[in-house]
A and B are shown apart, each in its own frame.
Chain A
């Protein structure tokens, strides 16, 4: 999970992200960005996420916790 914040920042189209930021606050937050997070999770972490799980995670750290939980 070392590069998690960098990877998510790239998908959210910003230079960097902090854990407390809400996902809805990003300008590019839309269905394609959600799909790109599902694809990243599949490709880089070997985990399967759904749109509703991502939406429910609410913040960047919520998303990180979701990744950690799925990996374990």
Chain B
């Protein structure tokens, strides 16, 4: 008898594009997908971070520096990359930027930049991926990362919330539009995860804020790997009957 375990979450032989691969959830995702056998194109604005991540993946994985605040970058790079790397089975848009600002200090230019990175890039990536030149003939899977703040309100967060809740609209609409192509579209809404993103906005908050945030999560704060696990599931055939779903991975934050 063959001595190999049944592994329905194996991603061997599959190729994926991962944005936001230089840090946090993106890095943890790349490492996990790599362990599950996938081949990856890792994209981010942070070249040094990308190099660190790829050193923890497969030597054959490819990195590409892209600035998602510029529209059109995915189209510009992906066709030529895929012609060498091979067609993709899926893509995940993890890159993102927070924007803490109460309504009265909302700056349109900043809000639009955040929207471009968090939301429009997800749409542009989907558009490129859905092309038969880019994705495998059997279809594929697209995963977005939103936030608990796309589901529940939070003061001083409207710029970020609108960028993330728009991902839910994109998920629903594209899941219907792309179902005939056998492309599944899903979104994960994480609670607070310990990454650089939290550090980058810590100056907005007073002492005791961390404790308050922790209390909002019945299971405590998340690790990047907690979100990566859900991404791997949505990329694998284990989720082949799931599309148009917004999956909360939030330690119980939205259960309250």
Q: What 0/1 pattern do residues 1 to 36 of A give for CB contact below 8 A with B? A: 000000000110100000000000000000111011
Q: Give the contacting residue for B100; candidates A11, A35, A44; CB below 8 A.
A: A35
Main secondary structure of the interface of A (DSSP, over half): helix
Residues of A within 8 A of B104 (CB): 10-11, 13, 32-33, 36
Q: Select the stretch in B69-77, B174-182, B198-206 that faces chain A.
A: B198-206
Q: Is B155 an interface residue (CB 8 A)?
A: yes
> What are 6 pairs between A and B in contact, CB < 8 Å?
A10-B104, A32-B155, A33-B102, A36-B105, A38-B100, A43-B109
Contact-residue size bin, chain A (C-beta under 8 Å from the other chain): 10 to 19
Does A43 contact B110, Cβ atoms closer than 8 Å? Answer: yes
Question: How far in angstroms is the closest Cβ of chain A from B110?
Answer: 5
Q: Are B156 and A35 in contact (CB under 8 A)?
A: yes
Does A66 sit within 8 A of B, measured CB to CB? no
Known: A35-B100, A43-B110. A52 touches B105 (CB 8 A): no
Contacts of A10 in B (CB 8 A): 104
Residues 91-110 of B, flagged 1 when their CB comes within 8 A of A and 0 if not, give 00000000011101111011
